[in-house]
Chain A
Amino acid sequence: MHRTRIRIVEDALDANNTIARANRDDFDRHGVTVINLMSAPGAGKTALLERALAQRPADVRIGVLEGDVQGSYDSDRLASYHVPIVQLNTDSGFGGECHLDANMVRSALGSLPLDELDLLVIENVGNLVCPAEFRVGEDARAMVCSVTEGEDKPLKYPLMFRSCELVVVNKLDLLPHLDFDLDRLLYNIDAVNPGVERILVSARTGEGVEQWTRWLLGAALRAAAV
């Protein structure tokens, strides 16, 4: 018996990225723009999605893919907006995966009426680390960062902050109650992802929500115009 060395030199996530490209091809074929929405737990992804769904114009057809470790709490919240929603739970392993990967999203494609959608929002599992590593076939990535999380978060989670095309800073209405340096946060976001687009909002009061909705719908409209 002897040992053979096999040279590989391959990114460990190549397999995931291959499936992500297959997802992207399917989305493109159906003319669906896909946004991967990520954040820490409790930053306000679902609240911002509710706001956007409430303001959507009739001619933009939106679907939602909800990723959670378990339960359908978020899907239930969104049910009243009458859009196609697919719940994807990740708890089939031990403890439950802390992110969606390309294969999980692929498994849900059959449940989504892609032909009838312009925009699909994938609400990822709340987590600032793992979702950043796993592409799922999205056109763009948006993350929500709330002012209760601390100004140093971009420096602690650079993978996530760097991988996004948009950073939404949420819970602005809480600023008077916090020792939070908003300029410091914006400075740190710019250090980690120079020039990245930022939108400041409060999902609670509605401040900035119009701009957020415009960005989200704009992603689909821009794609339709091509």
Chain B
Amino acid sequence: MHELSVAGAVLDTAIRHAGERPVDVVALRVGSLRQVVPDSLRFYWEIVARDTICDGARLELTEVAARLRCEGCGYEWEPDIPAFRCPTCARSEVTVAAGGELEVEYIEVREHAHA
């Protein structure tokens, strides 16, 4: 549902780093806790990228599974449901070890060869 907003934020990030060069590839790491639907994001990406330097650029998505860690007992697990209480000691001091990413990892831009 919020893929349009995410696509817009990814586009802004790519453009800011591209230095006006045309962009061919944008690589994005998306954690499962960010609730992004990959197909929906690709669909909106095509739309928001139109008529920008990212027009036609391929969006390479890497999905990252959620992994939580209990700071109390050190237990680490991959949750099936978004429950953030430790299943072994029931403590609530739980940190997200992976799955919270929404990270533009790199872009690939086209350089014109010097004459």
Interface on A for B, CB 8 Å cutoff? 1-16, 97-99, 101, 127, 129-130, 133-134, 154-155, 157-159, 162, 190-195
Contact = CB atoms under 8 A, between A and B. Distances in A.
A5 to B, nearest CB: 5
Contact of A134 (B5, B18, B83): B5
Contacts of A97: 5
B111 A3 contact: yes
B102 A6 contact: no
A7 B33 CA distance: 24
Given A159-B34, A162-B84, A194 B92 contact: yes
Interface of B, helix, strand, loop or mixed by DSSP:
mixed
B54 interface: no
Interface of B: 1-2, 5-6, 9-10, 12-13, 16-18, 21, 24, 28, 33-35, 81-85, 92, 94, 101-113
26 contacts: A1-B111, A3-B109, A3-B111, A4-B108, A5-B107, A5-B108, A6-B108, A6-B109, A7-B105, A8-B17, A8-B107, A10-B13, A11-B104, A12-B28, A129-B1, A130-B2, A133-B5, A133-B6, A154-B82, A158-B82, A162-B84, A191-B84, A191-B85, A192-B82, A194-B84, A195-B92
Nearest to B90: A194
A126 B28 CA distance: 28
B2 A133 contact: yes
Interface of A, helix, strand, loop or mixed by DSSP:
mixed
Given A3-B109, A12-B28, A194-B94, 20 more contacts: A1-B112, A3-B24, A3-B108, A3-B110, A3-B111, A5-B107, A8-B13, A12-B102, A12-B104, A15-B9, A15-B13, A101-B5, A130-B2, A130-B5, A133-B2, A133-B5, A133-B34, A154-B82, A191-B81, A194-B92
Contacts of B102: 11-13
B84 A9 contact: no
A9 B105 contact: yes
Contacts of A155: 81-83
Given A2-B113, A3-B24, A8-B106, A194 B9 contact: no
B7 to A, nearest CB: 9
A101 B12 CA distance: 14
Contacts of B1: 98, 127, 129-130
Nearest to A154: B82
A61 B11 CA distance: 40
Given A12-B9, A15-B12, A158 B107 contact: no
A6 B9 contact: no
Contact of B113 (A1, A130, A157, A158): A1
Contacts of B6: 12, 133
B30 to A, nearest CB: 9
A6 B106 contact: yes
